[in-house]
Structures are given as C-alpha cells and as structure tokens.
Structure 1
C-alpha cells in the first residue's frame, strides 16, 4: 500500500492514526462484551475505519454527516463522549435514544451527526434536505452521507442522486463498497464494474478511492471539500474496501472465500498505516504502546460509567408525552373583521400564501407547484412572490422529496410537500411512517413537515386518484392527521399545521375544492388541532364525520327534519377530540359515524370501540358505522355512486333514529 503524505505534518499523520485506532479498540472491546451478553448486537466496521475517519476529519465540525452502522469512526472523530456511546449501546438513559433505539440509530444536533434508520435509503434524501437548507442560506457547507453498496439498489439512492443533481446540492454521497450485502456478493447486486459509474447517469462527478488507505481517503476528500465549498455540487464517492466480519456478529463470515479474507486482511488500514509511520519515524514502539494504553484506559473508564448507570425505568406518561415534540398552540385571531367568501381551494391557497409570508424559511415542494401552480392551481402566482428557491418543482420521486423535507427540518427550516394526489403518498410511505413519525420519540428531533394530501372520490377519477387514505396514518404514533370540511377550518388549521413542529398529514378533499364556499377572515389566523366543531345540536342522536362526509350528512339530514341530531365535524383525526364525542353521546344515547374510507380498519371503528368502552351505560342503541364499499374506488359514475356511502348512511341513520 502506497502512502503519500503531501503537505501533512507529523501531528496530522498521528491524528489520522489515532482517529482509526480508537474505533478499532472500541470495537474489539464491544465484541468481548457481545460474547458476554452485555450488549445485544454489533455491526462491525473493522477494516473500514479509514473511510469514516478520513471523511469526517476532512469535514468542518459545523458540517453535517450522516453515517451508517459501520461508521463508529464518525462518532469518535466528532469526539462524542464514550460513556454516552456505551450507554446508547446498552439501552441506558444517558444514551442518545434513552433506550428507545439501539446501535447507531440516532442523531445529535450537538455533534452534527444524523444517524440511520434500518431502512437505509431515506437518509440519502435527508442529506439532500440538509444541503438544500445550507444552499438557500448561502452557507458554503458540505453534507456527507454514507451508504453501503447494497443500499445503492434501493430507489431512494437513485432519487437522492437525481434530486442533488437537478438542484446542484453540495452533498458527498459516500458508498462503502465492502463486497457483500449481508451474504450477497456484489456480482449478485449490480451489473456494472464500478458503482461510481452510476454518477454519469445523473450528470454528476464521481471518484473511486482506496477505502483502506487513510491518507488517500483524507487527502482526496479534503481536496474535494475545499472545491465544493467554492463551487457547490454533488459528488459520488465509491470507497473500495472490505468487511472483515459478518453483516452483524450473528451472521458470521462462512459465505466469504478464505482466500478473499486473507487478501483483505493484508490490506488492513491500521496495521499498514502504523507500519508506514513507524518506518518514517513518526511513531515509535513506545509511542504506539502509550497511545494504546491511554485509549484502553479511556474505554474502560467510560465503560464503567455506563455500567454503573441504572437500567431505564419505564414511565408511561413520559413515553407517551415524548412521541410528539411539545408544541404550545398559539391562538392568533384575525387583525381585522374583514371577511370574504372563498371556495375551499382558495382558503387553502390563501392560508399557504400567508404562512409563506409569516415564515421566511418555509419551503414548498411538489410536482408542478412552481409556475404551473400545481395540478389544482393552489400555488398559482406564488413564484413571483416567493421565488423558485422557495416554491420548488420536484422530480417525480415522493420518497426522496419527503426525506428532503425531513432534512430541511433538521437544518432548521420548515417544509410543505404537496402530494399531487393523496394516492401517490404510497411512494413516499416509508420515510413518513418510519422517519418523520418516529424521529422525535427516538432522539428528540422535530420533523417540521406538512404533507398536503388532495384526496377523495366522487369525481370519477378511478382507483389511483380517489382514495381517502387517512387510516394509513392515524395508526402511526408520531403523525398528526387533519381533515377539514369547510373553507374557514381549512385555512386556520393549515396555518396551525405549518406552525406545529410535528409532521402533519393535511387532507384536502378534491370534491370540496370548488363546490364548497364559506366566509373566511382575510387576515392570518389559527385554529387548534384536536378540537371538533359542533355544527348542529339536538337530542335524538350523534352524527360524527369529517371531510366530504360532513356535507353528505348535512344534506341527508335536510331530507329528515324529524331527526334532531348533534352533528360533530371532527376536523382533526390525530389528535382526536374524544371528549366532544363522549359528551355528545352521553347526551343523545345514540351514535352514527360516517367516513368516506372503506369501513374495515378505519377511524370509525376506533371511535366506535372507544365509545363502547367509555360510554356503554349511556347508549340506547348499538353504535352504527358507515363507510364505502370494500373495493377499490371504481371509475364509472354508476359504480362510484354505489361505492360511496351516502345511500347506506341514510338507511342507517333512519334505522338508528327509529331504534
């Protein structure tokens, strides 16, 4: 192995050596503890230390780095206290996830490290978002993100590269090509000679670097970093290396040919570099021994601190209260009495525009949202007011854009993502339910993202443009779900959703966009999430609904003046105003719940169960649930009319009234 010191002095050379030595010695200690049952799992980076250390030391401490589970050298190079790392791996309270997640599945703003999730791919898009925030603020910074060669087969990898290329984001995409994705060799993972060649398809630069040569890693990455800070752009780096141990310790390495293991063992990044420094007189036997003794002492002292710490004690109220970031709702009343009659769609547009003025670092992203104004024209005219830097057309890549929004939030900005249709959110499902929803509970990070969801049937749009899929998200702790029915509510709730630091799915029924009008304050105002609206008051029964269902219920009730109900518009499904539901049911003794979604597994089922548990003694009849037919949404009007629940609701309403 050839080493070129360039203009590095002896202290620089020693720092790089110590940078690799410390994670190697920690790993060796962890492998002992794993066999002793004192930690539960370990993903080894032995043989790959030069990559983590070289990249991190080439970055500035203020620049974000997004490592994987073999990048211990990133954490040690950023000088994270070892006792906190050890506590993290033991599931102790002083660990970064307080026992809620394991291994390197955490981030820390203090050290500008954003850890992985097990789904791997989304963190590449998160890096895009972090870099986008720096670029918009004109900060000359780089974001470095790691992935393995296996994850380059995921769609998120390709989406992230494409986004970075189109927007010219200063991201270093670092591929650690270590030969195997668990047990699958590279020749069964991809059919190109070098993964670096994939950069050509996205119009970006790439480099191939010897990942076992610390001086090559550091010098080439350092040179690139200096160049990118002057001329921001993405670069794909492929580090050729090898994983000397199993994917994780339980998997072993029997699938690796012995000759291959021996070849790479001879390329060990630490022993070779140590021998080079010894030969050059930079290191001596005495200095090597002292370094190892000092590191060993540091490891043992910090391990003892972690061992001495009590195990995490379960506290139910604490667990529940930390799923979401605490958000103190601020009631903002309109400054004047001026009102205007707006369509549902115009109220959303007005709220979004006023929020853009209120938050100068709020970014709107989505397909065709810029000059075209979105397919529903909600952002029409926004570009002249806010510029294309804040109103951003995106490639068709929902997963990558949701992850990018998460990165914007991590770097202190707000994001609104428009799904062209709510149906398309399935392509961005993973980062929503596994990253945005869990990030605060896991390591106390906000996901300041609103995802707008044009949804609903009744417009003859068929199975892929008509779904109302709120139940996909009400099941997921960490997400908030809002579903207004009237222009006044839509504007006020959207403003609140944007103010809220938690991820919000904001459902907008397409059928209401241009068919429903109402008086709306001209000024900016907010409405609280989790507060239902009582639209009608009566004694006979309680009707609960949301979205278009509210209008259907009101229309059908007009045909039955003999029925005097409470009508509750939920407005928000998570948080849910269960108190309002219970109070009404206790008064009327009867409940019917109408949802547009198919019945099984929907919000109506949960409300019914809650009422049965909390209000059983007040009920004078079984709870009724009404939803759409258990089929995909059909296209033909004659089929869709029977699919939707209006007729079934009217029958159930009369039946409940007469019970």
Structure 2
C-alpha cells in the first residue's frame, strides 16, 4: 500500500508542476486494489479502474513504464494514444478501463467464460465504482454472469460519490451488495479500508470460486479523500465526513497495527520509504529522459487495424444451388468445425436455431457451451465477445435484428473499434446483422444501419448480396482478428439462390465484384440494391453499364470504383439506407475528389426517403429507392 501512496503523492506534485496532465487519486482506497491483487494468481485477469494504482504496482509493472504511459511516451502501453489507466497489457494480465465504465464488467464475463470453456480453474476480478452501478451494463453483466455461473468477482468500490453525486442520489437500496439478491448471486460487504479483511475474504472466495465456479458481488466500503480528479476538488464533501474517514486511512492504520504487533519498526518503516522513494525517482528520471513520441502518419493509420493476411482457401469445383441463408449457415458451421475456440452467442440461437433458423442443428453438432442462448442484453454480450477475444477465443454474436444494435452500440464503437489502436489488443469478434426492409416489418425491424459503423475507424463492415459471397466473406470475417459487422439482408435470405462451393473457402474482405461491364455509366451498390440494379439492367438491355457490387463497405475498394468511373465518365450510387449521411455520400465525395477530370456529369445518389422505415406495403414501396432508380439512371445517362 505504501508504494502506490507514495507514487500518488509524487504525481500530485508533478501535476501542479504541469509535468502530467491529469490525475485520478486513489488515496484512501489502496487496501482494496492491493488486497484483491494479492489474492489472485499472477495468471488471473484483473480489470481495474482509474483509481486502482495498487493493481498495477501489485503486478510488478516497472514504474518507468507507468510513468511513460502517464506522460504519453513510447515506453508506456499505448504509444502516446491514451492517458492514465486507459490501457491493458497481456504481459501482466491487466485489462484497463474505457471512460464508458460499464462495458468492462461484460468483458470480465467473456474472459471468465473462456476459462470455463477450457475447464481452467481461474478467477477474473473486475472493478467498478458505486456510480457505475447505475448503468445498464452493470445489470446486464451481473445477470449474464449469474445465469452462466461465471467465475467473476465483481468488486464495487463504494466511496460515497460519483464525481460529486452522493450515493443517496444514485440508488435507494441500503447497500449495493443487496443487489446481489436480484441476480441470485452471493454478495458480501467488506471494510475496504482494512487490508487484512480485504485480503483474507477475497483470498478465501477466490480459492472457493476456482473449485466451484460462480460470480460473487463484493461491496467495498471506502472513501475518496481527493476529488474525482484533481481539478474537481472536494468542496462538495462535508468536512466532518472528510475528518471521519481520515481516521480510517488504510495505510496509517495498518502501519500502526504492524508496529503494535511488533512486526514493523520505525527503522524498517523509514527504510521502506527510502527504498520506494529511490525507486520512484530513478524510474521517473528514466521516463523524463525518454524522447516524446514522434508523430508518424503511416504508423497511426496502420495500427487502427491489426495487420492480418488471411490464409487464401480457394473455392472448390463442387457446388450446390442454395439460398443466401443456407450459405451463411454453412459458412458458420464450417468455421465452428475449423475453430474449436469459436463461440456463437445470441438470443434464441441454441435449440431454436435463431429467429431465422441459421443456427438450427448447431447445438446437436457443437454443444450448448459453444452455441449459447443469451439474455436480452446486447451491450453485455458485445462486451463478453470482447472478453472472449482477450482470453484467446473467437466470438460470433448474432444481433437478432440489426436494429437492436443500438442497445449494444457503445461497446462496439468505443471498445471493439478502438482496442487495437489503444493497446495492440485484437477484437476477434464478428457481429451478424440481419437487416433491411422489403418484408413489411416496420420501423424497428427493417433498418439498414451500416453507416453507423463505416464512420468508426477500427471496424470492418461487410455486406454481401449473393450466397457464394456471403459464405466466403463470413469465413474470412471469422478468420480476421479485427471486429467485423456482417450485414445480412433479410429479404434476400430465402429469395436469392446461387451456386455455392461446398468446401470451406475464403474471399478477400475489401474487394468489390464487377457484375456487369459497360462503357456508358458506373452503377455502384451493395446488398438488396445490387439486385434492384440487376433487374433494372435486365429490363433495359440497351443500357451499357458497369455494375459494381461493393460487398465490403469498410475497407472500401476505391480502386475498383475509380477504375470504372474513369472509364465511363458517369456514376450513380444506389443504397437502401436513407440519403443523408449514408455511405453513398462519401463514395460520391471520393469520386468527385479523385475522378473529377474524368466526369461528364455530377455523381448521382439514389437512396430511401429520409423517414423511418414504414410498415404498410404501399408506404414501404414508396420509401425504398427501387421504384425511383430506373428514372434517375436514365436521367443521368441523358445528361
């Protein structure tokens, strides 16, 4: 406890000197971080918060690396891309937080699930504060852990305030531990300022959980003696409360206990302080001496995704004529056979086979451990998928409908997308997205919301239109260690047939397909739009057009687009998504910027109306761009 306390005191001085930019103090809470870390095995994962310096020192991370991290230097853990404790390290089995606190609770679920699938007797500990227990992710993660009997220790540091909001304005139950009852979960209240109580209780529980896997909720009663971060101050805290908790300081009380028991002398105490002070100073000098990170544009761009060269597996000559839905199921099944660490998760995906029956029969083939029904909690399952990836598994999550992804949006765009850029961790996760209109499903089951994700660096977005493409691209997406949103148009599931190779094969993500060749105009589309364009061309055999099926929206095959437009001189982009902010807008801008001198007319976009997706057939037909595309195409040809 002394080391993190002394580091913090030094950091507060450096903060005032302007040598670090921000500090979140854990002074007064060291017993929790130190006690929990000491109770776990070195190979067991800990997911700390920004007030848990004792976790990092307890895992013996060289101090200069921590100091370099806080100064944004190369020897830190994020190459200067993130600050303070927003990092993880597989070397020390620590997974750091993101500012959106809740998702890491679900990540712990995924890590623990991987241990359980491999029959490893390991515990995972995850920290959060009492304020974050108000987030939906807290409920979702605890519920999943309980239902799946995952070996997770949920450590809630109840320090009285979420920034300035007191617990009386956060929840109405007497204790956070009381919430465990609602999850059928064992829970305990621990004096978070008593290192002996923390270490003894957590050690006993950890050993028991290793042999009897289950989640446990621990509420550590403690207090934050500094501001939420130093700029916040503590003026909102009554002075008598500060005085009361000052008497409960875990470090001074334990020091007095050791001295009274004859286990620590003044000389030994002084010697410890001198040794730690010398260690801090020498490591600080090493960190200060390190040159600042140099901006390198190519490295920044290269690190958004994990570099990956997929094994090329050629399609075989044996084929069968099957539907899009069958091809997706086949790709999933063959991937499950290839990877015994691949887990499929989603609502009703087990015995029921998913609402579209894509995983029907998978439980019989692979077992319920690997084909898992989930509670209705998209955010926690996205986060659990991330945890599986961290702990050496692959995950495919089925969003029952792409519309429901809004309930899991945060961990996708803020965790999965950024994790490799931040600390070189991969997110080996595929999220299947049944999407699209044309089936009269109304506003909440019909969206094609790919543009929500093509905007976000770090995500890959795939959107096939044909069965053979769907199978090969899904297999490649599962092979890819980066997070992939895999869009599957519901109206195409059972209406589109194609000859699909029966073997396991891959197709490259980021390569478009040229379906028709012509010299007069370039048509660019994807998903259902490709079939609308094909129908239009079939009905107008005099139109001489290149038809590009993008197949992948991120990465985007810009070279295929530019090559065609430079040949034809005209371009029209057809998307099912609504017009404003859709990917057609970016493609149009890219063409204007890179092919302007080759254009004979302005680039044309054709998209759905800027309304929610309506239910009735007449309104839905009006909403979709299919009926307007032919006129827009002919108008552009005649320009």
TM over 0.5, shorter chain: yes
Task: Name 1:469's counterpart in structure 2.
Answer: 449
1:202 paired residue number: 183
Whole-angstrom CA distance in 2 between matches of 1:532 and 1:186: 54
What is the CA deviation profile of residues 279-320 of structure 1, one whole-angstrom value per residue up to 9, with x for unaligned ones?
111111110000000000000000000100111110000000
Q: SS at the partner of 1:518?
A: strand
Aligned-partner Cα distance in 1 for 2:291–2:582: 41
Q: Distance in 2 between the 1:163 and 1:591 partners?
A: 49
Q: Is 1:237 aligned to 2:218, yes or no?
A: yes
CA distance in 2, matches of 1:178, 1:41: 20
Residue 556 of structure 1 deviates from its aligned partner by: 1.1
1:487 maps to 467
Matched, 1:393 2:353: no
**SS of residue in 2 equivalent to 1:212:** coil
Give the superposition deviation at 1:58. 0.2
Matches within 5 A, 1:305-344: 305-334=286-315, 336-344=316-324
By how many angstroms is 1:540 displaced? 0.7
Distance in 2 between the 1:405 and 1:65 partners? Answer: 17
Deviations 1:117-152 (A, max 9, x none): 000000000000000000000000000000000000
Three-state SS of the structure 2 residue aligned to 1:113 is coil
**Residue 162 (1) aligns with residue 174 (2):** no
State the match for 2:505 in structure 1. Answer: 525
- CA deviation map 1:53-93 (0-9, x unaligned): 00000000000000000000000000000000000000111
Could you tell me which residue of structure 2 aligns to residue 271 of structure 1? 252
In the other structure, the counterpart of 1:45 is 26
Aligned to 1:568: 548
Equivalent position of 2:362 in the other structure: 382
Structure 2: runs of 5 or more not aligned: none
Q: 1:233 Cα deviation (Å)?
A: 0.5
- Aligned position for 2:576: 596
Residue aligning to 2:162: 181
1:557 aligns with 2:537: yes
Alpha-carbon distance in structure 2 between the residues aligned to 1:649 and 1:292: 76
Aligned to 2:108: 127
The CA deviation string for residues 195-230 of structure 1, in whole angstroms up to 9 with x for no partner, is: 001000000100000000000000000010111111
Q: Per-residue deviation at 1:560? A: 1.4
> For residues 522 and 328 of structure 1, what CA distance do their matches in structure 2 show?
23
Say which of 128, 131, 147 aligns to 1:150: 131
- The equivalent position to 2:39 in structure 1, one of 32, 55, 58, is 58
Runs of 4+ in structure 1 off by over 2 angstroms are none
Q: Distance in 2 between matches of 1:405 and 1:583?
A: 38
Q: Deviations over 1:408-464 (max 9, x none)?
A: 000000000000000000000000000000000000000000000000000000000
Post-superposition offset of 1:244: 0.2
2:548 alignment partner, SS class: strand
Distance 1:647 1:349 in 2: 31
Q: CA deviation at 1:168?
A: 0.1
Q: Secondary structure at the match of 2:259?
A: helix
Whether 1:405 aligns to 2:405 is no
Once the two structures are TM-superposed, the CA of residue 337 in structure 1 deviates from its matched residue by 1.8
Say whether residues 1:291 and 2:306 are aligned partners. no
1:330 CA drift (Å) = 1.6
Find the aligned partners of 1:279 and 1:133 in 2 and give their Cα distance: 45
Residues 1:36 and 2:36 aligned together: no
Match in the other structure for 1:369 = 349
Q: How does 1:491-510 map to 2 (within 5 A)?
A: 491-510=471-490
Matched position secondary structure for 2:240: helix
Q: CA deviation at 1:595?
A: 0.3
What is the Cα deviation at residue 236 of structure 1? 0.1
- In the alignment, what sits opposite 2:439? 459
3-state SS of 2:409 partner: helix
Determine if the alignment matches structure 1 residue 116 to structure 2 residue 134.
no
CA distance in 2, matches of 1:468, 1:536: 25
Residue 475 of structure 1 deviates from its aligned partner by 0.1
State the match for 2:196 in structure 1. Answer: 215
**CA distance, structure 2, for counterparts of residue 476 and residue 358 of structure 1:** 30
1:81 equivalenced with 2:62 (yes/no): yes
Distance 1:279 1:175 in 2: 31
Q: Secondary structure at the match of 1:620?
A: coil
**1:511 counterpart (483, 491, 494):** 491
The aligned residue for residue 77 of structure 2 is 96
Match status 1:586 vs 2:566 = yes
Alpha-carbon separation, structure 2, partners of 1:363 and 1:229? 22
Equivalent residue number for residue 419 of structure 1:
399
SS of the equivalent of 1:568 reads strand
Match of 1:15 in 2: none
Once the 2 structures are TM-superposed, how far is the Cα of residue 650 of structure 1 from its aligned partner? Answer: 1.1
Residue 191 of structure 1 is matched in structure 2 by 172
Q: CA RMSD in A?
A: 0.5
- For 2:357 and 2:300, the matched residues in 1 are separated by 42
Alignment partner for residue 282 of structure 1, among 259, 263, 266?
263
**TM-score (ref. length: structure 2):** 1.00
**1:658 is matched with which residue?**
638
Of 414, 429, 434, 1:449 maps to 429
1:559 is displaced (CA, Å) by 1.6
Q: 1:407 & 1:28 partners in 2: Cα distance?
A: 34
How many residue pairs align between the two structures? 639
